[in-house]
């Protein structure tokens, strides 16, 4: 007997004794349960996916609390570039970044006892008071003041190295929060970069960008022969301004990978590009300063110039790239190995040399006492020489 149900929420009288109706009802329950399980599984997968991308824990997402205590639970995920990740990097690293103020007295033919102030930044290297900064921040300073959080302390220069632009200062305080140090060797172009320092005296200023380049060479103004060549630098587009020098360049996990040092800009402002000394170099130099009181630098004892097409044509050179020797230092490794003026170096330990900067970087990657094979051209003849790297004289 066919029955109509005008109320979908109320089964018709006697339906429980109808076998056909029972089967339909049970099938409906089965489909409904399957759909419910599917929704629960899909929701769980979506929750886990959102958690992985945002670095916010599933519990925090369920509570809906992304600020306050929820922010404290954010973990640093190097695969994410969310604002939460940057906040976590800053929270981790800020206690280890300090502000440095120096006073110096200038005496030259234009000035007499002229006192001036300068600003910079630093990174806590060791918990017992050792701090990394740039040599140019503290060089010639009469007084050094270090601000850690809200506390101002007197800094003492332990030592500096103009060759790498790294210096170490010390404050009389223990229990500092030393920065976690990473390595530039694992960096990839395009990954997150976070710069923390005190540009223009504004403490703990944070700028972000990416790692724009690796193994860069930068030469400062060569006017009057006073230029300095820096090699193996990290390039970044994170805004760096005067006062950032000596501060931290961090990766996406909050590890220091570089010490900010140089701005290349037409105006000196942050619209240019910034360069940082790798933490690998800074750490090596700092340990030598602290443990030995001096830093050694391998050298071969030449003054050279980059070979390009124009120079090759002018001098009738057999190659259009390399490093041509302009002067050989008497008694140096190159002189003892028989190298001469106008020899063109094209390989260093089998590594192709296309410029003087390449040669400088290759030499600095070695240690004093290492052996090196030099491949070079003398006129049109290719030759080889083996030499031992010496410690570069201080003068």
Length of the chain: 395
Please identify, among 284, 306, 321, the residue that sits at the C-terminal boundary of a domain. 284
Beta bridge partners of 3: none
Instruction: Give the dihedral sign, CA 274/275/279/282.
Output: negative
Decide: 318 and 353 in contact? Cβ < 8 Å.
no
Q: One of 84, 161, 165, 343 is an active-site residue; which one?
A: 165
319 domain-assigned: yes
CATH number reported for the structural domain that contains residue 378 in this entry: 2.30.42.10
Q: Would you state the pLDDT for residue 16?
A: 42
Angle 39-41-45 from CA coordinates, rounded to 5°: 115
Q: One of 96, 121, 231, 245 is an active-site residue; which one?
A: 245
Same domain, 384 and 347: yes
Please identify, among 284, 319, 348, the residue that sits at the C-terminal boundary of a domain. 284
Q: Would you state the pLDDT for residue 71?
A: 38
Question: How far is residue 89 from each of residues 82, 83, 164, 199, measured CA to CA in Å?
Answer: 11, 10, 27, 19
Same domain, 210 and 259: yes
CATH number reported for the structural domain that contains residue 194 in this entry: 2.40.10.10
338 domain-assigned: yes
Beta bridge partners of 68: none
The domain of 26 spans 18-53
Same domain, 189 and 280: yes
Which candidate, 161, 277, 271, places its Cα nearest to that of 215?
A: 277
Active site residue 245: yes
Which candidate, 39, 184, 193, 207, places its Cα nearest to that of 121?
A: 207
273 domain-assigned: yes
Decide: 201 and 119 in contact? Cβ < 8 Å.
yes
- What parts of the chain have a pLDDT lower than 70? 1-82, 107-113, 221-227, 266-272, 395
Q: Rounded CA gap, 151 and 148, in Å?
A: 5
How many structural domains is the chain composed of?
3
Active site residue 251: no
Same domain, 280 and 302: no
- Retrieve residue 69's tokens: 């205590």
- Retrieve residue 141's tokens: 């300073």
Active site residue 204: no
58-84 burial, b at 16+ Cβ within 10 Å, e below that, comes to eebbeeeeeeeebeeebebbeebeeeb
321 domain-assigned: yes
DSSP 94: G
Please identify, among 251, 284, 317, the residue that sits at the C-terminal boundary of a domain. 284
Question: How far is residue 105 from each of residues 123, 136, 141, 155, measured CA to CA in Å?
Answer: 25, 15, 8, 17
37 domain-assigned: yes
Q: One of 99, 136, 270, 297 is an active-site residue; which one?
A: 136
Q: Would you state the pLDDT for residue 50?
A: 53
57 Ramachandran zone, left/alpha/beta (phi>0; psi -120 to 50)? beta
Decide: 131 and 146 in contact? Cβ < 8 Å.
yes
């Amino acid at each position: 007997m066919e029955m109509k149900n005008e109320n979908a929420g109320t089964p018709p009288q006697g339906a429980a004794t109808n076998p056909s109706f029972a089967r339909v009802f049970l099938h409906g329950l089965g489909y409904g349960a399957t759909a419910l399980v599917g929704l629960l599984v899909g929701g769980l997968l979506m929750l886990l996916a959102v958690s992985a991308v945002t670095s916010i824990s599933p519990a925090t997402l369920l509570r809906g609390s992304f600020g306050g205590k929820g922010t404290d639970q954010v973990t640093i995920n190097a695969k994410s570039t969310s604002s939460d990740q940057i906040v976590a990097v800053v929270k981790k690293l800020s206690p280890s970044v300090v502000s440095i103020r120096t006073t110096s007295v200038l005496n030259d033919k234009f000035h007499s006892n002229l006192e001036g102030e300068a600003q910079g930044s630093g990174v806590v290297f060791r918990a017992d008071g050792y701090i990394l900064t740039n040599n140019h921040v503290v060089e010639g300073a009469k007084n050094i003041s270090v601000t850690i959080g809200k506390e101002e302390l007197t800094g003492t220069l332990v030592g500096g190295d103009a060759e790498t632009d790294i210096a170490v200062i010390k404050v009389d305080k223990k229990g500092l929060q030393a920065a976690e140090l990473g390595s530039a060797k694992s960096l990839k172009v395009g990954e997150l970069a976070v710069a923390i320092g005190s540009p223009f005296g504004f403490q703990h200023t944070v700028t972000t960008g990416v790692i724009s380049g690796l193994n860069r060479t930068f030469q400062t103004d060569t006017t009057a022969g006073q230029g300095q060549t820096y090699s193996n630098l990290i390039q970044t587009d994170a805004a760096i301004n005067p006062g950032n020098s000596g501060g931290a360049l961090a990766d996406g996990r909050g590890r220091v990978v570089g010490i900010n040092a140089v701005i290349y800009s037409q105006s000196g402002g942050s619209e240019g590009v910034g360069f940082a000394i790798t933490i690998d170099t800074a750490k090596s130099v700092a340990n030598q300063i602290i443990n030995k009181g001096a830093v050694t630098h391998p050298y071969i004892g030449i003054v050279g110039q980059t070979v390009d097409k124009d120079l090759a044509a002018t001098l009738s050179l057999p190659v259009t790239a390399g490093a041509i020797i302009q002067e050989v230092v008497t008694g140096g490794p190159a002189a003892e190995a028989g190298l001469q003026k106008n020899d063109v170096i094209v390989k260093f330990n089998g590594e192709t040399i296309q410029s003087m900067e390449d040669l400088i970087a290759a030499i600095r990657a070695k240690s004093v006492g290492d052996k090196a094979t030099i491949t070079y051209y003398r006129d049109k003849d290719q030759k080889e020489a083996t030499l031992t790297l010496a410690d570069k004289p201080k003068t």
